[in-house]
Structure 1
Amino acid sequence: MKLDVLVVGAGFAGCVVAERLASSGKSVLVIDRREHIAGNAFDKQDAAGVLVHQYGPHIFHTNAPHIVEYLSRFTDWRPYEHRVLSSTDGKLYPMPINRTTINSLYGLSLDEAGIAAFLKSVREKRDRIENSEDLVLSSIGRDLCDRFFRNYTRKQWGLELSQLSATVAGRIPVRTNDDDRYFTDTFQKMPAEGYTSMFQNMLNHPNITLELGTSFQQVASRMQAAEIYYSGQIDEFYNFRFGLLPYRSLRFEHEHLPGTKYFQQVGTVNYPNDHDFTRITEFKHLTGQKHAGTSIVREYPQSQGDPYYPIPTPENQARYEQYKQLAAADKHVHFIGRLAEYRYYNMDQVVAAALNLMKNSLR
């Protein structure tokens, strides 16, 4: 069987690519090895009727108007600004670290200038920033690092801060004001009917055929596609020729609490120093849903399981570069997305990359 385009993966990357190609007149087959669309952003009602994110919280935020304009074709939005608290010594503090965090933790009453001076006094000077530990210690000093970052990193990544690229810690800002929003992007909203509904609308095109529970290997033997857009693991595509690209996985423990209006004050609470899990998310904060009970999820990082986070170390990046060279020679195969590019993308970054790829491909 011949077709114009095969898209592997029905998450953000694959669905954007499929929609754009289908709208240009091409026939597109979208496959996914899972039994559902939307990738890790998949959401559904649990047994109690609460809308939950099956693979942990997905909070949409961006500063790019063209991404909002594009996705707004497929969904309405509800306002939501994500807030996170972090537990240390049995108390909860705003995360990212801000003026409230420092004043509450140390019993101070500093203004913004005072917080800036405090941080300057505790920072550990580094001539070169070579890893996440260098970045954190040079930004907030050792005590704050140990309370909020060091053990969380051990749990989340199975590595020390000193073993991780500075890009990991660089994702989390430090503030001298009282802004307790986790993100400061100009656009912070959630799909009004959920992510899965948005993806269904994206794939609702006469030129798109969808096959779920189907792997690339199953399709490759029976179909010939002029173009392939691949959003799976790039090392798997090349049969692990240069070895395995490691990923960090997660185990999700979902729980419904009947008769509990809210379990916690904010959408997510981090537990850097206690418990085997890293955080608890309560979905009613995210969705605005009204329900007599509430549903939460605990996240337990692990080394085995579905791939979620590329592990950013120099060794892993060097191995990826070998696969990238192979990919550059495959002119009819295009690699897009977090797994295919071995990159820690945010959702809006995946959409931007996919739209940019389509802009160049459809000229």
Structure 2
Amino acid sequence: MPKITLEQAISASSRAPHDGYDYLIVGAGFAGSVIAERLAAGLGKQVLLIDRREHIGGNAYDHLDDAGVMVHRYGPHIFHTNAQRIVDYLSQFTEWRPYEHRVLARVDEHLVPIPINLTTLNTLYGLSMTSEEAEVFLAERAEPVSTIRTSEDVVINQIGRELYEKFFRGYTRKQWGLDPSDLDKSVTSRIPTRTNEDDRYFTDTFQMMPREGYTHMFERMLDHPNIDILLDTDFKAVRESIAHRHLIYCGPIDEYYDFRFGRLPYRSLRFQHETVQQAEYQPVAVVNFPDQSVPYTRITEYKHLTGQTHPLTSISYEFPCDDGDPYYPVPRPENAELYKRYKALADETANVTFLGRLGTYKYYNMDQVVGQALALYQRIEDGHAVAPEAAGATAS
């Protein structure tokens, strides 16, 4: 994979006949890497991909820790999608390991499946309900909300306040630093409630993990002679020194404009990684802790995700926080309005396209980011003008 130095990048960008890279792409996560690969391999463009971190892969970066256990440095990343075209594209760069994600929650001294299902309800309440009885059980506890606006409204309308308090309120307050009543309904609308025994976290058609890890997949994706990679480099430090014809920016859109209208709020994460002197720490990859008195939201054990055999195991405790790398756009109406101001500015900025979660201030799953990048490439290939939202509209 062609990693270069800043001096080499500056030199390359000044050489004839190109008079600069065709594309400078900021951010080597899914969005930046996919569009870099497509432009290089599909259109023969000269691409410089830069990232402020010392590695490619963005938040999906995985590596062997000091104990030799494969871990995800930035928390668990589980690939799932219903889109065959996304699988077909990524399969050029990786083989897959089948994996269905299951999550347990520590509630009332029990470890129960989340999303809530029949097993969850029967375990918590000491019952032996059928699916039909569980539907009645939940319907009797639901508190209808006439107009659903917030995350609290969504859950209480579906399953009532008691289960809302047990599973959602504390976890959400830790995750977002806000009460569910202050968050957009989209936060909890993604979480189903089941009355059968299906304990899979996702129900997508395709659920799997890259057999040799995400980093290996990114290395193969970016292994192209038309792609130069410059790591451990801040865009601000090189934006004036590297000649390029078009910029694709996958970083925070407000940062690009020097926070002209103020900062777009994000929630960040802090990880405490530990190696445990035993082969297995917990029965599934992720255990959630909804109790607000527990300072972390979840514990991840990575060997469940990777299938690695090792006499030791490595885990991480996840602590949401306000400071640090931006992970999750905070879904509140005032933040959406602030983003619209930046988007209007972006629409007037020539030769710059914003892409990805941070560039378009929207939470995407990994497959959706790939879909957004592929859609952008298709528009470039077709010679159409590109707008960030137009690129994302066809995401899978």
Same fold (TM over 0.5): yes
Matched, 1:310 2:323: no
- Structure 2 counterpart of 1:267: 285
Distance 2:82 2:133 in 1: 30
Within 5 A, what are the aligned runs for 1:1-363? 1=14, 2-23=20-41, 24-258=43-277, 260-273=278-291, 274-363=293-382
Runs of 4+ in 1 over 3 A off after TM superposition: none
Distance 1:157 1:68 in 2: 31
More displaced, 192-201 or 329-338? Answer: 329-338
More displaced, 106-115 or 229-238? Answer: 106-115
Distance 2:149 2:95 in 1: 42
2:309 counterpart SS class: coil
| Structure 2 length-normalised TM | 0.91
Contact map agreement 2:275 2:315 (CA 8 A) in 1: yes
How many angstroms does 1:107 deviate by?
1.3
1:334 counterpart SS class: strand
Distance 2:177 2:254 in 1: 21
- For structure 1, the residue ranges without an aligned partner over 5 or more in a row are none
How many angstroms does 1:221 deviate by?
1.3
How many angstroms does 1:224 deviate by?
2.4
Q: Which amino acid aligns with 2:191?
A: I
2:358 counterpart SS class: coil
How many angstroms does 1:17 deviate by?
0.4
How many angstroms does 1:329 deviate by?
1.3
- For structure 2, the residue ranges without an aligned partner over 5 or more in a row are 1-13, 15-19, 383-396
How many angstroms does 1:31 deviate by?
0.1
2:221 counterpart SS class: helix
Q: Which amino acid aligns with 1:106?
A: Y
Contact map agreement 2:108 2:124 (CA 8 A) in 1: no
Q: Which amino acid aligns with 2:184?
A: S
Query: Which deviations, in whole Å up to 9, do the C-alpha atoms of 1:153-209 show, x marking residues without a partner?
Result: 110100000111111101111111100000000100000000000000111000000
- Structure 1 counterpart of 2:391: none
Between the aligned residues of both structures, percent identity stands at 58
| Structure 1 length-normalised TM | 0.99
Contact map agreement 2:31 2:370 (CA 8 A) in 1: yes
How many angstroms does 1:112 deviate by?
1.2
2:146 counterpart SS class: coil
Q: Which amino acid aligns with 1:344?
A: Y
Contact map agreement 2:299 2:318 (CA 8 A) in 1: yes
Q: Which amino acid aligns with 1:224?
A: A
Distance 1:110 1:88 in 2: 19
2:320 counterpart SS class: strand
